[in-house]
Amino acid sequence: MSSHPHTSPSPVQVPHDPGRLPMTLPLLAEKKRLADPVVMVTAYDYPSARAAEAAGVDLVLVGDSAATTVLGYSATTPVRLDDMLVLAAAVRRGLKTPLLIGDLPFGSYEISDEQAITTALRMVQEAGCDAVKLEGGGPAPVSRARAIVGAGIPVMGHVGLTPQTSTALGGWKAQGRTAAAAVRIGAEALALQDAGCFALVFEAIPAAVTEELMPRLEIPVIGIGAGPATDGQVLVFHDLLGIRDGLGPRFVKRYANLQEEMNAGVSAYAEDVRARRYPGPEHTYSISPEELAALREQLG
């Protein structure tokens, strides 16, 4: 048999509002100017991209959180560039209007500006990303950001809790909880802005610190666990939909419990198979009585 009748011949079409303009960097800057909240969500495959498209979000990040959400690692560091390229390409196929940002995974940009440019080019050319994101605001990440921007690829910075270097930060915990640490985050954010980043992520920073820093920045800031003062919010797809064990970090608001629904669905299927309730007559293919009789004759 040449085809697989149990698979769909083509992916389900992405619901798309034809009136919605694709997100661009000028439109994003305009949203900040108008104080119009920016919605960002992560996605890692075609269905999650379709959900983001259908919801009309502004920015989609193929986060290196893919390591934990879809690849089963306990940290973000093991995910490789080749993994990210496959995931980002699938997300690209599911999106029409949001700006697609690809996270540069650990080890793919630290060595040199040249390595960072090469990696960013692959995210754009091979996966179809519109922009890339990198973590950290020290001299090396700032240099990488400037180099990638210089190569013509938009860069989003990321300060506060930067999971790729969480060991060096003392663990997976909020950052900027002393005046000195908050000043450092502010300086890093400004350095990334000066390097040409089009936007920043603030992760796990006290809301009051975010409030102090926001008036000092001109580019859009998207928060995750950074309070309500940012220009927009980002959540991890699997956290907000409950496709995970446990509740996750305190900043997560859960909008569904899909892991429970998936478990219940697969359990019900397993029970049906074991009880021979599935497949029913409506799930089977027919053959004409004549052909069946001929078959029986040929089989003896």
Please provide residue 46's backbone torsions phi and psi, each rounded to the nearest 5 degrees.
Answer: -65, -45
The beta-carbon contacts of 123-128 under 8 Å, at least 24 apart in sequence, are 123/84, 123/85, 123/88, 123/153, 124/153, 126/85, 126/89, 127/62, 127/84, 127/85, 127/88, 127/89, 127/92, 127/102, 128/88, 128/89, 128/92, 128/100
Q: Which of 53, 135, 188, 203 is catalytic?
A: 203
Shortest separation between residue 183's beta carbon and ligand KIV, angstroms: 23
Which residues are near ligand KIV by CB under 6 A?
42, 61, 63-65, 103, 158, 201, 224, 234, 236
Give whichever of 16 and 47 is closer to ligand KIV, judged by the CB atom. 47
Give whichever of 61 and 87 is closer to ligand KIV, judged by the CB atom. 61
260 is an active site residue: no
The rounded distance, in Å, linking the Cα atoms of 78 and 90 is 20
Shortest separation between residue 34's beta carbon and ligand KIV, angstroms: 23
Shortest separation between residue 87's beta carbon and ligand KIV, angstroms: 11
The rounded distance, in Å, linking the Cα atoms of 117 and 84 is 16
Shortest separation between residue 90's beta carbon and ligand KIV, angstroms: 16
The residues, ordered by sequence, that sit 6+ positions from 289 with a Cβ below 8 Å of its Cβ are none
Give whichever of 64 and 188 is closer to ligand KIV, judged by the CB atom. 64
Shortest separation between residue 70's beta carbon and ligand KIV, angstroms: 11
- H-run or E-run covering 234: strand 232-235
Shortest separation between residue 203's beta carbon and ligand KIV, angstroms: 6
Give whichever of 46 and 202 is closer to ligand KIV, judged by the CB atom. 202
164, 76 Cβ separation under 8 angstroms: yes
The rounded distance, in Å, linking the Cα atoms of 29 and 47 is 28
Give whichever of 186 and 223 is closer to ligand KIV, judged by the CB atom. 223
161-172: buried (b, 16+ CB within 10 Å) or exposed (e) per residue?
bbbbbbeebeee
Residue 253's alpha-carbon distances to 6, 20, 203, 238, in angstroms, are 36, 27, 15, 11
Give whichever of 102 and 277 is closer to ligand KIV, judged by the CB atom. 102
Length of the chain: 300
Which are the catalytic amino acids?
A: 203
